[in-house]
Structure 1
């Protein structure tokens, strides 16, 4: 009995010390926010700012957020775009129009934990764009509204009409922030998990997208149970270059996306822009556990 107890204690200590790994929260005790991701079609930043094509452009100029107008109709927007009824020149037959996702957040004073869980939509049967990764999930954080429209449009400030996979665009051009600069703090902190590689990435989007180099990510782990996915990211509250440093009592611009059905590029499902509060008010709240 004593040997078993000692072995268990040693194993726990090794788990804590290995690669900075720590015990995740008891997710059964953490509240969940349901956020609907929707298929966005061809709706880059330039489109949402063009009043002749997007009726919300005027509201955007007045300071309203995309979520103010669209949070309750995300699924309906996804249906119109996935079907090709609106701003999608090459619809994919059978493409899921939207994905409801439960988002949970917590922290322990040193690390932030984010858990995303959702039901796998039916496959479209279309050719695989990324045959290595049936599913990818990514989220971005932005601090202080230094990126133009980050407070209002979420991750849309990184989505442009000249970026790869947009109609007629340069396939070598990645997402970017207009006037983006790490030195000036004008960037998004980027995290991604890939199912096929079972690996997490920590980069940023400034004048270009960089998938690696961040120092804040501790781990990214995903699993599928039947038709249900769950992915947990653990990142340090503190970070290095390209990482947004998180502090208790503050809220941060937050958005996320899922590449379902082996999708790539713009053919993903996206959230509107929300706030992640660290012991602070927000659409998603991370309280200390």
Structure 2
């Protein structure tokens, strides 16, 4: 009898531990949206809004999104910048101009699942800026509290004085939001996976912080043949620095890939989109 009780208790512990890690959805049943991440060169928010070289300032004032103008031409934009024709004073020979990424999302009532898959571009063969990671993928969520985030996506965190930008004076200055404040809700929730096996849960407010979040459960990635597949599991609820998600809610969403051992600004980025939880969005996470 005593052994039976012990066995039952052990079984309960195993089942309880397993329930903390919900199974990922059947991705074959989840629709994918193809999003082109492109090489942005040195195109900070200040360049977009000054209005002398880019018509985006007028469009933003009218409430038009960057995606509404550029969604179908991101690959061509990437070619101009990767080649050095525009907004890239130090082009990298052979740098991929863009990466076509399939983005999928689903939830189970407790967790959000995000899946990113793409074909590995040809290597440029330049210096390994990040010697530890061939690839990194990050995505950001924003709760409609940062002015302009619904129009320009993650560009509200990209400034001309950040490190690795031509006008940078501080090599430690990272992404930030003007007047960013976590307590006041003015921040981007940031999650990252690295090919070395790292996972980070942080935020971007007055500076970028790569830790402290409580929502990330798991981030896994692998290369299958010539295709990368990265899957995040994130609690819908979180803590400080985590955007709270719930059915019927839509938030701003964007992602970036550091390909070919890249670091800093030498990444590929998406435009800004919306992620809806059981509601309309550019990408919708339906319950499974």
C-alpha distance after superposition, 1:14-34 (max 9, x if no partner): 487259321000000100000
How far apart are residue 161 of structure 1 and its match?
Answer: 0.4
Q: 1:67 to 1:16 in 2, by over 3 A?
A: farther
Counterpart CA distance in 2 for 1:15 and 1:60 is 52
| Contact 1:16-1:22 at 8 Å conserved across structures | no
Per-residue CA deviations over 1:212-237 (Å, capped at 9, x if unaligned) read 11000000000101110000000000
Question: Structure 1 stretch 263-272 or stretch 56-65: which is displaced more?
Answer: 56-65
Counterpart-to-counterpart distance in 2, 1:116 and 1:149: 25
Q: Choose 264-273 or 55-64, whichever is displaced more.
A: 55-64
Contact 1:275 1:282 in 2 (8 A): yes
**1:71 & 1:281 partners in 2: Cα distance?**
18
Alignment of 1:80-99 (within 5 A): 80-99=80-99
**d(CA) in 1 for partners of 2:52, 2:241:** 36
Q: Distance in 2 between matches of 1:216 and 1:260?
A: 25
Q: Aligned residue for 2:7?
A: none
- Partner SS state of residue 49, structure 1: helix
- Deviation per CA, 1:112-132, whole angstroms, max 9, x where unpaired? 000000000000000010010
Matches within 5 A, 1:19-168: 20-143=20-143, 145-168=144-167
Quote the Cα distance in structure 2 between the aligned partners of 1:131 and 1:19.
Answer: 37
Contact 1:202 1:213 in 2 (8 A): yes
Structure 1 residue 199: Cα displacement: 2.0
Aligned runs of 1:220-235 on 2, under 5 Å?
220-235=219-234
Counterpart of 1:189?
A: 189
Give the Cα–Cα distance (whole angstroms) in 2 for the partners of residues 84 and 19 of structure 1. 51
Equivalent residue, structure 1, for 2:260: 261
The structure-2 alpha-carbon separation of the partners of 1:237 and 1:70, relative to structure 1 and needing over 3 Å to count, comes to same
State the TM-score, normalized to the length of structure 1.
0.94
Instruction: Report what 1:171 is aligned to.
Output: 171
- Indicate conservation of the 8 Å contact 1:39/1:270, yes or no: yes
Name the CA shift for 1:54/1:12 in 2 (closer, same or farther; >3 Å). Answer: farther
Inter-CA distance 16–156: structure 2 relative to 1 (3 Å threshold) = farther
- Equivalent runs, 1:7-18 vs 2, <5 Å: 14=14, 17=17
Report the aligned-residue RMSD.
1.6
Residue pair 1:34, 1:102 contacting (<8 A) in 2 also: yes
* SS in structure 1 at match of 2:79: helix
The number of residues matched between the two structures is: 278
Q: Structure 2: which 5+ residue stretches go unaligned? A: 1-9
Change in 2 beyond 3 A, CA 1:30/1:56:
same
Contact kept in structure 2, 1:15 and 1:22, CA below 8 Å: no
Return the offset for 1:11. Answer: 9.6
Residue ranges of structure 1 left out of the alignment (5+ in a row)? 1-9
